[in-house]
A = this chain, B = another copy of it.
Amino acid sequence: MVGTPNRDRQAERREATHAEILSVAWDVAEEHGIAGLTLREVAVRIGMKPPSLYSHFDSKNAIYDAMFEQAWTQYAAIVDDVATDLPPNPRQALRVLAETFFDFATAHAPRHQLMSQRVVPGFEPSASAYGPAVQVLDQFQSRLRSLGVDDPAGVDLVTALIGGLVNQQIANDPGGSRWRDLLPRAINMYADEVGLARREPRRSP
């Protein structure tokens, strides 16, 4: 075909613009809060006119949707990497997983608000964008099960516990470590509740 090389170059350029819009959108959200994101600001920083963004995204919510999916995809990659080398001690393993989520969440408050809270008035993530988020929760659930936590309520309890620490850290001590320092204690408290062993299981009983 004659047109193929051109289309490849155009496709590349289109994808690059797509990524640049998202990258700049994260910058703006970081400065003005996730709900303070404006298409004008994004367009200006890229050197575009605001309406031109509509060539790449159908609406502002479509940008939020892509950001939502991107954030959970990034976290999925990080936790997958961490999970390849977990400590054999179940408590330590759970603590590493909790710290991984906590540090990712508190690193960028606007990102966490988009991922885990319903803060943007008209925005609801699409089913497609929800994919990575559901996958992350499913994998966390199966990892908890392999650690010895069987009841579904136990999963709800620990997600609420870790999420609560994250929210308090972001809302009341941003940039500090007041609640981050409580994480090991919180995990031990939870591990006692669900009866997690304190030492790694023996090879042969």
| Interface set of A (CB-CB < 8 Å, partner B) | 32-33, 35-36, 113, 116-122, 153, 156-157, 159-165, 167-168, 170-171, 178-179, 181-182, 185-186, 188-190, 192-193
Residue among A157, A171, A181, A190 having the largest count of chain B Cβ atoms under 10 Å: A157
Name 27 interchain pairs, CB-CB below 8 A, sorted by A: A35-B35, A35-B119, A35-B120, A113-B119, A116-B167, A117-B117, A118-B170, A119-B119, A153-B181, A153-B182, A156-B178, A156-B179, A156-B182, A157-B182, A157-B186, A157-B189, A160-B165, A160-B168, A160-B179, A160-B186, A161-B164, A162-B164, A163-B168, A164-B167, A185-B193, A189-B190, A189-B192
Please name the 3 residue pairs, one residue from A and one from B, whose CB atoms are nearest each other, closest first: A164-B164, A160-B164, A189-B193
Residues of B within 8 A of A117 (CB): 117, 119, 167, 171
Residues of B within 8 A of A160 (CB): 161, 164-165, 167-168, 179, 182, 186
